Structure 1
Amino acid sequence: MIFKKIYTLQPHIHQDFNANLEFLLKQINQAQKDSIILAPEVMLTGFAYQKMEEASEFSRIATEKILDATTNKTCIITMIEKNNQMFFNNLKVFHNNEVIHKQAKTKLFVLGDEHLHFKQGDIGECVPFMIDGIKCSALICFELRFPQMWDLVRDSDMVFVCAQWGGPRKEHFETLSRAMAILNQSYVITSNPKNLQMAKGSAIISPYGLVFKNDRKEVIELEVNLEEVSRVRKYIQVRGK
């Protein structure tokens, strides 16, 4: 059997960048060896539209600290970064003191003015990556709504979703996440903050669609059995048809 300990974070994101980073580093340090820690979208800074330069510089500093903290662990998070005078919402996978995967958000949320502050990412970056032999993919918040993005993660055993999903659309977030797990026959892990206006709903969802979540907690943790993926795909055969 292949087991993997998963932690999905559901913190209150503060205006104090350092407080957010301290919370993240604490969770990484306390996490079990060889585990995966998933954080909400731009957890370190929030969207910080009035402080984008400061946020991108903080992301640079935070990257070094997360690299140091991820010995024998994995952390998945998005952060504001600047490249060629443009800002991107970059998802980064830190694994054993390296960044093993990076992709920029390709579907910007117009209702939240993201298109006014970020450059759209290249969809070609949205490819699977391996964590300890497990085929994984990731989506960033609004991307969860697009069938085109679902096609890109279809063959992965685990799909990670970093989000800042608004409370009024909580049912959409939870329904889409569970539907993806059932359709893909994969684990889907979501991370969303618990700020007042946010949907919470951070969850670890099995390939059969069983949901493990708790909106009251800052950290949801579960050891998952990756053989469940092949078991569901074997007995409910929908692939290649």
Structure 2
Amino acid sequence: MKTEIIDFTPTNDYNHNLNLLVNKIKNSTAKLILASEVIVTDFDYKNFAKANEFAKVIKEAIIPLSQNKIICFTLIEENKNVAFIFYQNKIVYKREKIKLFVYEKKYFKVGEIEPEIFEIEGIKFAILICFELRFIEYWQKIKGVDIVLIPAMWGIQRKVHLKTLANALALSLQAFVVVSDGLAHASNIITPWGEELGKFANIDLNYIKKIRKRLPLE
């Protein structure tokens, strides 16, 4: 499965950011696309109501692009940080961020659904939204997953943390981990063997079976 990461630091112009995202998706040859956390609006707390309202515009722009693509990123909706999966011209999965970073607690509502495995075309996916990566109990909940998607906006001071945790997650679950981060510049596609493939790569699901057979953890 061809996979591409889209990451850029958003400006304060929502329409500009959305157009940039749309163009990158249109020009991508990948089947699976992961963009960074709140990539269109950023954490625009000074204009939080506006960011919430713009969610509808974002979804209307992305849905038509998802006929043959699996697209994932988060946006601000109803005062929650929500991860969406767009596929076959509709939203096929969504989950609100359940672990909020320090200052996020002043603005966001906490989600209700913990990280879990869901399937698309028989492929087992899970989403960890940014800060959720730090909580090892969630790693256990998604054991057996094929691909973990991590839309993030990780602070540059904690870049090493993001890189270390994402690599450890891939090794622990023997799964592909895809991280899109527009701030710390730590985006990467990581294999079940801990290899770093960069922002565009072909995910070979058979490789997961080979690794788990080579190094069984049960």
TM-score scaled to structure 1, two decimals? 0.88
Deviation at 1:68, TM superposition (A): 1.0
Query: Number of aligned pairs?
Result: 218
Deviation at 1:142, TM superposition (A): 0.3
Percent identity between the two aligned chains: 35
Match of 2:171 in 1: 182
Match of 1:47 in 2: 43
| Structure 1 portions without partners, runs of 5+ | 214-219
Two-structure CA RMSD over aligned residues (Å): 1.1
Show the 5 A alignment for 1:132-171. Answer: 132-171=121-160
Match of 2:32 in 1: 36
Deviation at 1:127, TM superposition (A): 2.1
Match of 2:105 in 1: 115
Deviation at 1:155, TM superposition (A): 1.4
Deviation at 1:128, TM superposition (A): 1.5
Residue identity in the other structure for 1:204:
I
Q: What CA distance in whole angstroms lies between the structure 1 residues aligned with 2:62 and 2:121?
A: 19
Q: 2:207 aligns with which of 228, 233, 239?
A: 228
Q: Is the 8 A contact 1:204 1:211 kept in 2?
A: yes
SS of residue matched to 1:94: strand
Please identify, of 9-18 and 96-105, the stretch whose mean Cα deviation from structure 2 is larger. Answer: 9-18
Q: Is the 8 A contact 2:66 2:86 kept in 1?
A: yes
TM-score scaled to structure 2, two decimals? 0.97
Deviation at 1:100, TM superposition (A): 0.8
Match of 2:180 in 1: 191
Q: Which has the higher contact order (CA 8 A, sep 6+)?
A: 1
Match of 1:60 in 2: 56
Could you list the structure 1 runs, at least 4 aligned residues long, displaced by more than 4 angstroms after superposition: none
Show the 5 A alignment for 1:14-25. Answer: 14-25=11-22
Q: Is the 8 A contact 2:7 2:39 kept in 1?
A: no
| Structure 2 portions without partners, runs of 5+ | none
Deviation at 1:12, TM superposition (A): 2.4
Residue identity in the other structure for 2:74:
T
SS of residue matched to 1:102: strand
Residue identity in the other structure for 2:110:
Q
Q: What CA distance in whole angstroms lies between the structure 2 residues aligned with 1:235 and 1:222?
A: 22
Output one character per residue of 1:56-113: Cα deviation in whole Å (capped at 9) or x when no partner.
111111101100111111110100001xxxx100000001111111100000001xx1
Q: 1:96 aligns with which of 88, 92, 114?
A: 88
Residue identity in the other structure for 1:28:
I
